[in-house]
Chains A and B, each alone.
Chain A
Amino acid sequence: MFNDLRLGVRLTLVTIALAGLLAISFLLGMGIGPSGNGISELLTAVFGSGDPQSVFSVIVWKIRLPRVILAAAVGSTLSLGGLVFQALLRNPLAEPYILGISGGSAVGAIGGMLLGFSPFPGMALAAFAGSLLILVLVVGLISGNTSMGRDSLLLGGVMMNAFCGAIIMFLISITQTSEVHQILFWLMGDLSMSGLDRLPVLLLLLPCFAVIFALSKPLNMLLAGRESAASLGIDVRRLTMLLLLVTTCMVSLVVCQSGLIGFVGLVIPHVLRLLLGPDHRLLVPACILGGASYLILCDLLARTLPTSGEMPVGIVTALIGAPLFIALLWRSRRCQ
């Protein structure tokens, strides 16, 4: 019945529903934590009547708010990145982390950090360069040989990841800083280093989102194959280049802020595709909103599950995502 409705109506319904989910996740993320829970306390702190200098109020505004915003931005970007890679490479299992794109940015970011670059734009550019290099290698591996197909793409990505991991470990082992623990934590995906001052950079994500949304119809047509899309009037090469660049750019930007958080780009697009169908004009906004909610909630688990301290959010997403990946792989094998 949902599919009978016109696109505009469906888009509105999906946006409202997922924006509601995001609002709830936001409230939960800000209201729950080891130093005090409570939605009612939160509402008091937010809407003013409480003491603005109270400890709880400071925690909510200075610690939890930036963290929730960062989680939302990272979740959106990684989901959208997964969605775009899956469409461009026509491989349902593609995702920035699995393809090694995230790993490439991490190598770039750590390299930049060790060379003493500032977090922005120095480290971000280094991360972008690193991820572009991996992208070229992984995509170059499959292009020009269609028979290599999906498995070799994944294998290539896994190898790139292993290679990046080795380089990162090498870089860490030759450095003498006291920050090694922090880097390792960051590597596993960590949102705890956020502060309000680091958030403005994230505004750069918005134009990336806009470009991808504007290209969502051509992306649909690409799913039926490159030649099919070309015969329907799409300049496939230009579209692919533009989307790969924009996606890599936003992923590397996010990796600089949050480290390696895997499988978000796998879980969210798949769940949403099951619910909404394959139309990217719906999936792009849905991934932005849904991915944001998902990572806020994952981060909430990462903060509250351990009895003392917290764990990197990358562990939560991998615990959820890796089994799903295996299930999808199993299903696609069975279909062939």
Chain B
Amino acid sequence: MPVISVTGLDLCYGKRQVLQDISMQVHHGEFYLIIGPNGSGKTSLLKALANLLPIADGQIEILGKSLTSYTRRQLARKLAVVPQQISLDFPFSVAETVLMGRAPHLGLMGIERGADHALAREAMHFTDVAHLADRPLDQLSGGERQRVIIARALCQQPEIILLDEPTASLDPAHQIQIMDLMERFRVEKGTTVIMVSHDLNLASLYGDRLLLLHNGRVEMVGSPDEVLTAERLGGCYGCAMLVEKNSLGQMPRVTPIPQKYSHIV
């Protein structure tokens, strides 16, 4: 049984249709990447899966139950979201932020017990932010902040984690660090990871399956080998792409071709 099952999903912002007839299935423990050009609806799809955007039509099932049958709290125990960024107007400390991940498991006043503090500490160690525990969030670098939010998601003990471009605005070393972290998360905790990404090469290196969105429709779902072909990417992105085999493990490596080299291809 798929962990997430979507059939015939439509989504609109006002009169503008952003997603059209999306169907997808994500399996347990999968590293699933949603890729596509700007404005293709990737983030909207992710938000729809987390019930953060109302859908116009279609059916979303999470762990075999309709998304609409969950209360927010019930959903937050099953599914964690790592947003692109969180507001820093009132900066909590790293430890306080991570501890908030326990909220869906606590009572009304949200008093954390020893076990909750232990889970938060474990999550901070897992994402290597334990040494920053008392620092306010607004004093951290982008990569550190991203790892704090991932620790918060970990603290939720979810079965599914959704990430919205967690590697945007990070340098290559930190990008790999975040991706490795999610891979470890997936392998050690058995969590299903669904990630929106702009980076086709990271998608190729980590993704079990990729969903390529184009103009709000599913262009293709499949393994990196199947999805990342020069012809298909060129059509979607409107830019000639060079696709070769990566010497690391034979997965595709994608290079957009600059104008000045276009005569070579």
Identify the A interface with B (CB < 8 A): 3, 7-8, 86-87, 90-92, 214, 216-218, 220-221, 223-225, 227-228, 230-235, 273, 277-279, 281
Report if A225-B86 is in contact (Cβ < 8 Å); known contacts: A3-B134, A279-B96.
yes
> A residues within 8 A CB of B80?
231
**How many residues of chain B are within 8 Å of chain A by beta carbon?**
36
> Is there contact, CB below 8 Å, between B89 and A227?
no
The CA of A8 and the CA of B109, in the complex, are separated in Å by 12
Considering the complex, give the chain A residue whose CB is closest to the CB of B96: A279
Q: Is the interface of A mostly helix, strand, loop or mixed?
A: helix
CB proximity to A under 8 Å, residues B58-84 = 71-77, 79-81, 83
- Least CB distance, A283 to chain B, in whole angstroms: 10
Contact A3 B83 (CB under 8 A): no
Most buried by A among B71, B91, B103, B104: B103
Of A92, A228, A232, the residue contacting B89 (CB under 8 A) is A92
Residues of chain A within 8 A of B83, CB atoms compared:
225, 227-228, 231
Which residues of A have CB within 8 Å of B237?
none
Q: Judging by beta carbons under 8 Å apart, are A278 and B77 in contact? A: no
A19–B47 CA distance with the chains assembled, in angstroms: 45
> Which among A214, A217, A232 is the interface contact of B156 at CB below 8 angstroms?
A232
CB distance from A94 to the nearest CB of B (A): 11
Q: Is the CB of B90 within 8 A of A87?
A: yes
Contacts of A223 in B (CB 8 A): 87, 89-90, 92
A237 and B50 CA atoms in complex are apart in Å by 16
B100 with A220: CB separation less than 8 A: yes
Instruction: Give min CB distance, B95 to chain A, whole Å.
Output: 8
Task: Kindly list 5 other residue pairs between chains A and B, CB separation below 8 angstroms, not including A7-B112, A227-B47, A279-B92.
Answer: A214-B108, A224-B100, A228-B81, A232-B104, A235-B72
- Whether the Cβ atoms of A92 and B90 lie closer than 8 Å is yes
| CA distance in complex: A231, B76 (Å) | 6
B110 close to chain A: CB less than 8 A? yes
Residues of B within 8 A of A228 (CB): 81, 83, 86-87
Known contacts A7-B111, A224-B100, A225-B87; is-contact A231 B50 (Cβ 8 Å): yes
Distance of A70 Cα from B244 Cα, bound (Å) = 77
* Complex Cα–Cα for A1 and B14 (A): 50
For B201, list chain A residues within 8 Å (CB): none
Instruction: Evaluate contact between A217 and B76: CB separation under 8 angstroms.
Output: no
